[in-house]
Amino acid sequence: MKFIAIIPARYASTRFPAKPLAMLGGKRIIERVYEQVSLAMEHIVVATDDKRIYDTVEAFGGNVVMTSQEHKSGTDRCWEAYCKLNREFDVIVNIQGDEPFIAPSQIEALKACFLSAQTDIATLVKPFSVEDGLSVLESYNSPKVVIDNDMNALYFSRAVIPHLRGVETKEYLSKHTFYKHIGIYGFRAEVLKAITALPQSSLETAESLEQLRWLENGYKIKVGISDRETIGIDTPQDLARAEEFLKNLKTL
């Protein structure tokens, strides 16, 4: 199978404007994401809506495509970028532009989901640990996932799911395995085309999670499990955490 990674990177983030261009350990966030992806993918392109990001990617030697500012999701941006490439791939891997610590093993785990001909969409999760602490589990910036016995996603939520009846909140992490969603998806090309033609759904609007649109419309999302930690960057506070995470990586 032929895979291509597309990294959507928009400028006007509500919680963190100009996020792809923020500095992390002496490099722009978007450059760090690109470097990590290149360790596991041969074909990569950044899909942006801003000339400053476009010029930055070109400057470090990356491939980049300009896309519309009107997209409501990164997945929609990926589809436009894919169409503009005018090349055919079996699977498009969407890696969010705010995941600078995405590991090659995680990308390979996602690609492995497509060894099954039944997989149309795939994503990754990581179990929360007791050491993460309750505040990390409860963070609205860290979507949670519940999965079925066939490793398909049942639901994604910014709230803590499932609710543990009769268990004190402080004991949640020791009583159940909760799963954190990692910001990476894979789509068969024809499926990506189909889902981007769907209107926004009620659950997607309620949770501000685009993958709920796909579930509401009957698509299954295969889930791979990773034990690697990532630090997604949604806010300036997350960037400070990422700087500490990077320092610890360098001292290991």
> Is the Cβ–Cβ distance between 25 and 246 less than 8 Å?
yes
Q: Which residues have C-beta within 8 Å of that of residue 63, sequence separation ≥ 6? A: 44, 45, 46, 57
- 8 forms beta bridges with 47
Residue tagged 């090309």 (tokens) = 189
Among 138, 141, 79, 115, CA closest to 224 = 115
Q: Which domain holds residue 178?
A: 3-251
pTM exceeds 0.85: yes
CATH of the domain at 33: 3.90.550.10
Could you state, in chain order, the average pLDDT of each consecutive group of 10 residues for the chain (252 residues)? Answer: 96 85 95 96 97 97 96 92 96 93 94 96 96 94 95 98 97 97 95 96 95 97 91 85 84 44
Q: How many CB atoms lie within 10 A of CB 17?
A: 12
* DSSP per-residue letters across 144-194: EEEE-TTSBEEEEESS-SS--TT--GGGHHHHS--EEEEEEEEEEHHHHHH
Among 214, 242, 240, CA closest to 73 = 214
Give the pLDDT score at 250.
Answer: 65
Q: Using CA atoms, how far apart are residues 178 and 53, in angstroms rounded to an integer? A: 35
Structural domains counted in the chain: 1
Q: Using CA atoms, how far apart are residues 203 and 213, in angstroms rounded to an integer? A: 7
